[in-house]
Amino acid sequence: MSAVAFHDKRQELNGETARVAPKKRTLPPVIFALAVVLLLVSVSFFTSRGRPAGQIFQYQHMLMDTAVEIRFESGSSREANRLKEAVFGEMERLERLLSRSIAGSDIDLVNRQAGQQPVPVSLETLALLGEALRYARLSGGAFDPTVAPLLDRWGFLGQQYRLPSPPEIEAALRLVDYNLVGLDTGRGTVFLANAGMAVDLGGIAKGYIVDRGMEVLKEAGVRNAFINAGGDIGLIGSRPNGTPWRIGIKHPRLDQKYAGILSLSGSLAVVTSGDYERVFEHEGRRYHHILDPETGYPAASLASVTVVAPTATEADALSTTLFVIGPERGMALVESLPHVEAVLITPGMELLVSSGLADKFEPGN
Ligand code: ADP
Ligand code: MG
């Protein structure tokens, strides 16, 4: 049986006052057998009750190794089609700039010159790398965009998974240090101090790209929309009938089941990081793609982290950060950040919900 604990210091839940310490409840067997399959997170959409709005258009496109889904209101299919091209075009442009596995991307060029010379990059790359370094400092290096050499030892980039030997891990860890990234905003260059170092923005770039896609929709005057890039969700407004968006948080161990549902509206982002995404088993142990730069091994104190924040950039960076720093420090960090909320699921399937989500989260049953 799973358990649910509400991390809630203030509010009443189901008529019972939550205590300061996280409160445990028994989670009934998860029977959220909703029809939508194989999506990390799914968003149930509109019913036509209530005020009539523009038509709803929905599109899918493969980007960043995932099926990116967008839904928005528009007055005509011609306009919707034009907008869809603009959104996906912008997202594709950014992927080509920020992905370390695309030859000629800013990040690829920086990595090739590690230990040799500073590389001029676009202002956007410079700014996002600056953000990544900010989260690195905030987390004392739990989030570290220079984790790439370690990811490569584990085979996570090319999905050729393998268990590295302890000396290999030690050698890779010597190349992981966000303090050795030289960002020269005046010259617009990035320099990695040592040969063998490499930057990977996998923990933050998808969120940024979702934000830019949302921006295209907002600038076009769209009031209700969402973008889902494999669990990195941006949303604006509400469902067209005026009720909040409903976002399912996937159960980390039970396929096609939800650990809970978030009801949210406004201009927000919801990002989930899970230990079930890129994962392999070796001698009965699971190894996944979020690595603890302190140990060199996959972070093991959480199974799933969902962060709600004003931007997907912030939610993405924080979801990876919380995954590494674990439930206690993670929840303390969330509670210290204004406008940031989280749902954490421990390896024992205990749910921890930050105070601001108490009335927006229903556990699955
Ligand atoms: P995804 O949505 O792709 O699962 P996450 O936001 O969960 O992404 O981040 C996982 C990715 O972040 C990894 O694939 C890797 O590129 C990168 N990463 C892994 N460990 C760390 C870390 N400690 N700090 C920063 N980035 C990391
Ligand atoms: Mg992330």
Q: What spacing in Å lies between the alpha carbon of 126 and ligand 1's midpoint?
A: 19
Pick the ligand that lies closest to the CA of residue 315: 2
CA distance 105 to 112: 11
Q: For residue range 44-54, what is the model confidence (pLDDT) as tens digits?
A: 333 333 334 57
Q: What spacing in Å lies between the alpha carbon of 290 and ligand 1's midpoint?
A: 5
Tokens read off for 284: 């009965």
Tokens read off for 341: 């909320």
Q: What spacing in Å lies between the alpha carbon of 204 and ligand 2's midpoint?
A: 5
Tokens read off for 162: 């393998």
Atom of ligand 1 at shortest distance to CA of 317? 6
Virtual torsion, Cα 80, 85, 91, 92, nearest 10 deg: 160
Count of beta carbons in the 10 Å neighbourhood of residue 222? 19
Q: What spacing in Å lies between the alpha carbon of 240 and ligand 2's midpoint?
A: 29
What is the residue-level pLDDT of the chain in tens, covering all 365 positions?
Answer: 233 333 322 222 222 222 223 333 333 444 333 333 323 333 433 333 333 457 899 999 999 999 999 999 999 999 999 999 999 999 999 999 999 999 999 999 999 999 999 999 999 999 999 999 999 999 999 999 999 999 999 998 877 889 999 999 999 999 999 999 999 999 999 999 999 999 999 999 999 999 999 999 999 999 999 999 999 999 999 987 889 999 999 999 998 899 999 999 999 999 999 998 888 888 888 899 999 999 999 999 999 999 999 999 999 999 999 999 999 999 999 999 999 999 999 999 999 999 999 999 999 96
CA distance 313 to 319: 10
Q: What does pTM read for this prediction?
A: 0.87
> Which of 66, 144, 147 most suits a substitution to test ligand 1, by most atoms within 8 Å of the C-beta?
147
Atom of ligand 1 at shortest distance to CA of 323? 7
What is the 8-class DSSP label of residue 29? P
Q: What spacing in Å lies between the alpha carbon of 30 and ligand 1's midpoint?
A: 28
Domains, the chain, in order of start with CATH, read 10-49+224-363 (3.10.520.10), 100-192 (1.10.3980.10)
Q: Say if residues 323 and 203 touch (Cβ distance below 8 Å).
A: no
Atom 7 of ligand 1, nearest CA residue: 273
Pick the ligand that lies closest to the CA of residue 66: 1
Q: For residue range 27-72, what is the model confidence (pLDDT) as tens digits?
A: 344 433 333 332 333 343 333 333 345 789 999 999 999 999 999 9
